[in-house]
Amino acid sequence: MVVVAILAAGRGTRMKSNLPKVLHSLGGRSLVERVIHSVEPLSPSRKMVIIGYQAEEVKTAMEPISGLEFIEQTVQLGTGHAIQQLLPHLQGYEGDLLVLNGDVPLLRQETMKNLLHTHQENKNAATILTACLPDPQGYGRVFCNAENFVQQIVEHKDCTDAQKQNRRINAGIYCFRWQNLEQVLPYLEANNAQKEYYLTDAVTQVNPVMAVDVEDYQEILGINDRLQLADAYEILQQRVKEQWMMAGVSIIDPSSVTIDETVELQPDVVLEPQTHIRGNTVICSGSHIGPGCLIENSEIGANVTVRYSVITDSCIKAGSKVGPYAHLRGHAEVGEGCRIGNFVELKKTKLGDKTNVAHLSYLGDTTAGSKVNIGAGTITANYDGVNKHPTQIGDRTSTGANTILVAPVTLGDDVYVAAGSTITENIPNDSLAVARTRQIIKAGWVSKKKKSQQ
Ligand code: UD1
Ligand code: CA
């Protein structure tokens, strides 16, 4: 049996932020959410989050995650003091306690399984995750004997110059047999450079304590400042892009592309440079996205082409072509085989199959059927300053260039609208609507004018 405790009470002074450190976002998810995710496969019987600095804010942000218990550490006197807060809550508990720092977001689930397994197999009092870092600056240094049993953990600030040479560091991830930890926790002292109660002191007071090295040290990087946050993002991106490339996605110039982990891509998708795919986006097989696209929370069907465009909260069906320079937002839905051209904005607009909006248009709150042709510069006037109004357009209808559709308005099937019309009334099926002033020709007007000016 294992209980998980996550340390999330600290302020994160080095972030220089009003937002608590553990709530800082890394690729769309907070640091602490990522930590929780890394222990999910262990099926912990309880997940306890120790909160303190801006406790209410942290709690509110984490409320959507189910099964968490929040324990308040009202003053932050160190990581050991944080774990002391668990004493009244875990009385009589006989299993293991897994402790994770809330600011170590890149842990792999396999690593956590491996740590727990080693701990339980060897019947250790504690097992800690360690790594050899090229630059161990800032981390606690771990000193072991020849059998890999931990003798001492010394915080960077408490290290002598000789101790600082040790590159083996404490990841801040520990597995304890609770009954052993419970005995020593009340007796921690704050005799150190930071005048804090260190959890690392409790580690060396139980016995035996084994160290488990992670192979890939990037996993255990802690986030203390914005530089480390940016580094972590790069590592995360590298992982995500490698995974998709191995699964059959082509990424041209990966360093200029970003993909959230929540995104799903099918084989033979091609992502061109300067493309960013975010949120719950799905892109189906054979689609070609980029260069220069931002796609967020959207569904892109198979064999779709999107170039230099921004698409949010929208859906594009198979075989459609979008861009360059299109903006789809607010639940736009584009049918199969459509063409959405340059400088077109679609907001909360649904288009049937084989419908074209090829140039310079704004359609808002519009439903159009299939095989519709929206002429260049067609604009829906959907907002009267207070309310938004709908526009309906039937199948096979064409609007001429520079048509204004003043909503609410309905155009039937097989309708033609003459170029330059301002449509304020509904148009029945099978009709031509002309709504513009008649052209006047004044023959010889120019030469007359010139003469009168002489
Ligand atoms: C800690 C370890 C260090 C390790 C490093 C790994 C100690 C004493 N040191 O140092 O050996 O190398 O992590 O990243 O544990 N927190 C609380 N309450 C507090 C203080 C901190 O909940 O009173 C939380 C913080 O929110 C954070 C975590 O504990 O999530 C670690 O605290 P931090 O101050 O970042 O510890 P480090 O100095 O990084
Ligand atoms: Ca830290």
The C-alpha atoms of residue 454 and residue 451 are separated, in whole angstroms, by: 5
Nearest C-alpha to atom 33 of ligand 1 is from which residue? 10
Residue pLDDT, tens place only, 144-171: 998 889 999 999 999 999 999 999 999 9
pLDDT of 201? 96
The closest alpha carbon to 296, from 316, 311, 315, belongs to 311
pLDDT of res. 327: 98
Structural domains counted in the chain: 2
Q: How many Å lie between the centroid of ligand 2 and the Cα of residue 105?
A: 11
Could you identify the atom of ligand 1 that is nearest to the CA of residue 104? Answer: 14
Q: Are strands 141-144 and 150-154 parallel, antiparallel or unpaired?
A: antiparallel
Do 253 and 197 belong together in one domain? no
Torsion angles phi and psi, residue 200, rounded to 5? -60, -25
- Domain finish residue from 220, 238, 266: 220
Place 18 in a pLDDT band, splitting at 50, 70 and 90: very high
Is 117's pLDDT higher than 90? yes
d(CA 272, CA 275) in angstroms, rounded, equals 6
Nearest CA to ligand 1 atom 19: 78
**Domain membership flag for residue 410:** yes
**Parent domain of 133:** 2-220
**Which tens digit of pLDDT belongs to each residue from 209-223?**
999 999 999 999 999
* Among the listed residues 221, 21, 210, 181, the one whose alpha carbon sits nearest the alpha carbon of residue 99: 181
Nearest CA to ligand 1 atom 16: 10
**C-alpha 431 to ligand 1 mean position (Å):** 73
Pocket test for ligand 1, best of 13, 26, 79 (most atoms within 8 A of CB): 79
pLDDT for res 188: 96
Q: Which ligand is nearest to the CA of 107?
A: 1
The pLDDT value recorded for residue 454 is: 85
The reply to whether 123 and 268 lie within a common domain is no
- Tell me, yes or no, whether 159 and 206 share the same domain: yes
Ligand 1 atom closest to Cα of residue 199: 15
pLDDT digits (tens, 9 = 90+) for 68-94: 999 999 999 999 999 999 999 999 999
Reduce the DSSP state of residue 266 to 3 states and report it: coil
Q: Report residue 27's pLDDT band, with 50, 70 and 90 as the boundaries.
A: confident
Residue 72, pLDDT score: 97
| Residues of the chain by 3-state class (helix, strand, coil), percent to 5 | 25, 30, 45
Closest-CA residue, ligand 1 atom 8, reads 198
Ligand 1 pocket by C-beta < 6 Å: which residues?
Answer: 7-10, 22, 50, 52, 73, 76-79, 81-82, 101-104, 139-140, 153, 155, 169-172, 198-200, 222, 224
In a domain? residue 296: yes
Residue type, 182: E
For residue 32, what pLDDT is reported? 96
Distance (Å) from CA 50 to ligand 1 centroid: 12
Specify the CATH number for the domain of residue 119: 3.90.550.10
Q: How far is the CA of 234 from the centre of ligand 1 (A)?
A: 23
CB atoms within 10 A of CB 189: 9
Residue 178: name the closest of 96, 283, 63 by CA. 96
Catalytic status, residue 359? yes
Pairwise CA distance, residues 69 & 104, whole Å: 20
Q: Of ligand 1's atoms, which has the minimum distance to the CA of residue 77?
A: 23
pLDDT tens-digit series, residues 63-75: 999 999 999 999 9
Q: What pLDDT, on a 0 to 100 scale, did the predictor assign at position 95? A: 97
Strand order in the sheet with 294-296: 258-259, 276-278, 294-296, 310-312, 326-329, 344-347, 362-364, 379-381, 404-406, 422-423
Per-residue pLDDT, averaged over 85-112, amounts to 97
Average pLDDT, the chain: 96
Q: Is 11's pLDDT higher than 90?
A: no
Strands (E), 150-308: 150-154, 168-177, 209-213, 250-251, 258-259, 264-265, 270-271, 276-278, 282-283, 288-289, 294-296, 299-300, 305-306
pLDDT for 387: 96
Identify the DSSP state of 358: E
Asked if omega into 408 is within 30° of 0 (cis), the reply is: yes
User: Within this chain, do residues 216 and 253 fall inside the same structural domain, yes or no?
Assistant: no
Q: What percent of the chain has pLDDT above 90?
A: 97
Q: Looking at the domain assignment, is residue 451 inside a domain?
A: no
Q: How confident is the model at residue 5 (pLDDT cuts 50, 70, 90)?
A: very high
